[in-house]
Structure formats: C-alpha cells, structure tokens
Amino acid sequence: MDKAIERVREYRSVDIRGWVAKHRYCYALGYLLLFLPAFFITERAVTPRYIISCSWDDKIPFCETFVIWYLLWFLLLPASWLYTMVRSKEDFQNLCMIMFGGMTASIVIYWIFPNGLALRPQEMGEGVCADLVRMIHAVDTPGNVCPSIHVSSSTSVAMVAWRSGYLKSRQTMRWGVILAAAGICLSTMFLKQHSVVDVVCGAMLTVILAVPVYCLPWRGWMEGKPMGFFL
C-alpha cells in the first residue's frame, strides 16, 4: 500500500512539473516574488505626507460586517490566477498584465506621492467582525492608499471576467466574479480602509491599463512580429 501511494505521489509531481514546463506563461506569477517585498518595504519606509479625503467619505458609515467582503479579496485573487491559468491562457495573460501593471504603478505612486488617510474609527463594536477589523487595522497601516491596490486588483479580475470569451457561456460565474469584485471595492470604504478617492483612482488605473492590453497586439510583438498599432 505504501509503495502504491508513493507511486501516485511521484506521478502527480511529475505531471505537475510537466504541465508547468509546457505552459510557461504561468511563470508570470513569479512577479509576486518581487511585488510582495517591494510592498512591505514601501509600507515601512514611506511616511504619508498627503492625507486623502473627500466629502463623500463622511456620508459613508463604518460597517464592520463588510469585513467578510474585504477578506474575500484573499480568495478572489488566487482563485482567478489558478482558474485562468488552467482554463484560458489569453485571460491569464490579460489578468497578469492589468493586475500586475496596476500593482507596480501603485508602488511607484506611493513613493512619488506618499499618501495616507485618517478615516479609521477610534472605537468600534464587539463581535467576530469587529475583531477581524481590528486585526486588519493592526497589520495594515493607513498609509499608501491611493490608488487602492485592493480595488485595482479586484477590478482587474472583474474586467477580465467581463471581456473573457471563455466565460461568455458561463454567465453565472461571470456575474458572480463581478459581484464579488464590487463587494470588495465597497468594503474598502465601509471599513474606512480607503477613501472614495482611492477607490475611484484604483478603478481608473485598471481601465487605463486595460486599454493597451486589449487594443494593442502586444502578443505579436513578443513573438517578434512587425509592430502594428491596433489589433
């Protein structure tokens, strides 16, 4: 029995390595090895000099139950990477180009325009949701907020789901992804993690990056084809 289990494990290991070798586009996820250290260094090295706020922020109440939507972000991103990586090379590449481009642009902006917010409530209620919010506030500083990476990455997933040819026949999944992304974006404001300004800028960043990704023949350029402008 032990030998049989070992053979199955060995087969699965070889099979996964073979799949990765055949689908080298999945190496794009290696970007995270650069982004994560850069993000944490930025969090600790960059001191906010400009406070982001607008009149709409005061009209949005603090609501700790939105923490459930906020934490969904940590499931949405890896799920979107894995699903598109396996199901659609084109969608995976589009997602990485838009999302990782937004993350990179945000880090650069934080260094050039160090910003933060002062919206977090001094007191909040009791319960599981309130405790989760306190935990988030403890590990996530109120600096480096505009544009919101939480929003830009979530809207990147929604954008790719909306434009995906693979999901045209899977409308339930498509709208489920878009609803999840919308809930995540709203949660950043109801938890006072971000200003309305941060959310708008994060969404705009996704739109700006999506234009060249969907309109320029960059895949052909990578293959050495003559440069054209539009597809």
Asked if 96 and 31 count as a contact pair (C-beta separation under 8 A), the reply is yes
Q: In the chain, what percentage of residues exceed pLDDT 90?
A: 71
The residues, ordered by sequence, that sit 6+ positions from 95 with a Cβ below 8 Å of its Cβ are 80, 81, 84, 156, 157, 160
Residue 6 and residue 224: Cα distance in Å, rounded? Answer: 44
Q: Which tens digits make up the pLDDT trace of 115-148?
A: 999 998 877 878 899 999 999 988 888 999 999 9
Its pTM stands at 0.86
Q: Which tens digits make up the pLDDT trace of 7-50?
A: 445 445 446 667 666 777 788 899 999 999 999 999 999 999 99
- According to the model, what pLDDT value does residue 231 have? 45
Q: Which tens digits make up the pLDDT trace of 39-78?
A: 999 999 999 999 999 999 999 999 999 999 999 999 999 9
